[in-house]
Amino acid sequence: IEAYIGLLGRAPDPAGLAYWAGELDAAGGTTDAMKKLTNDITLNAEWTGGTQGSLLAADGSITLANAKTLVVDIYQNLFERAVVTDADQTYWAEQLVDGTVTASEMTVLLIAAAQEKGNADAQTLALKEEAAEYYVETVTQEQFNRDSAGDSVSAVDSPNSLAESKAATDLIATATGNDYVLSSTVTEATVVFTGAADTVTGTFGTDKTYNGGTLADISASDNDSLTLTGDKSTLTLGTTTDIENI
């Protein structure tokens, strides 16, 4: 779970966690096995095309500036903080540039060091791990998406933020989604969004049912849609918040 948090900035999906846990068990659960599995994560398209992987050149090399950015991202994902000193940032960045460590190896080393010291970083990481575990145990594979998995661990650094993360996960797990067809009686004001995928359809122009009212979802990481059809060449869209597909 910590590898997902550090490298991908999210909780695992249920199927993904089951796969990697099985691979780790089969490899004996050693540090070397953990390094291999985290390296495999960095070969995945999600990582190579994501915030961290895109900092590397096509041949796998990385500039010092990009390496420093990568170090900051891993620290933020794991410990919800910036690197303490410029010297620490430069140390890890130079290690990445000259190939002494890879991003996955650095992640494993930071996790192991924090857990060994039992310091504030270890406490933050434990809170994030608990949030991720709760997410993966509560949300089904069908309910999973990368945005909500990221939200489940992002900014978790205290008991209060952990409780907020769990409440948001519960919202995803219990929501079923609503479908609305706008009409003279079903208006923007009567639409109730959930933590699941909601759909709203309507018309504009002649005989319009969409009036440009506010449509605001309660979740920024589900899969809502607003579909409007009409006989005018232009549409003035009202305030829409956290509706993923328009």
**DSSP assignment string, 169-231:** HHHHHH----EEE--SSS-GGG----SS--EEEEEESTT-------EE-S-SSS--EEEEEES
Residue 29 predicted with pLDDT over 70: no
- For residues 39-44, give the mean pLDDT: 90
Cα gap 130→137, rounded to integer Å: 10
Query: Would you tell me how many other CB atoms lie within 10 Å of the CB of residue 71?
Result: 23
CB atoms within 10 A of CB 72: 16
Residue type, 168: A
- What does the pLDDT look like over 177-227, one tens digit per residue? 899 999 999 999 999 888 788 999 999 999 999 999 999 987 777 789 999
pLDDT at 115 over 70: yes
Return the structure tokens found at 69.
């950015």
Determine phi and psi for 91, rounding to 5 degrees: -55, -55
pLDDT of residue 218: 79
What pLDDT, on the 0 to 100 scale, is given for residue 9?
A: 97
User: Taking residues 32-41, what's their average pLDDT?
Assistant: 81
Residue type at 194 in one-letter notation: T
Residue 73 has pLDDT above 80, yes or no: yes
The reported pLDDT for the residue numbered 30 is 67
Rounded average pLDDT over 170-179 = 87
> What's the pLDDT at 97?
97
- pLDDT at position 93, please? 97
The model's pTM: 0.78
65: nearest Cα among 93, 86, 101, 98: 93
* Lowest mean pLDDT across 15-29, 47-61, 139-153, 197-211: 15-29
Q: Are the C-beta atoms of residues 229 and 210 closer than 8 Å to each other?
A: no
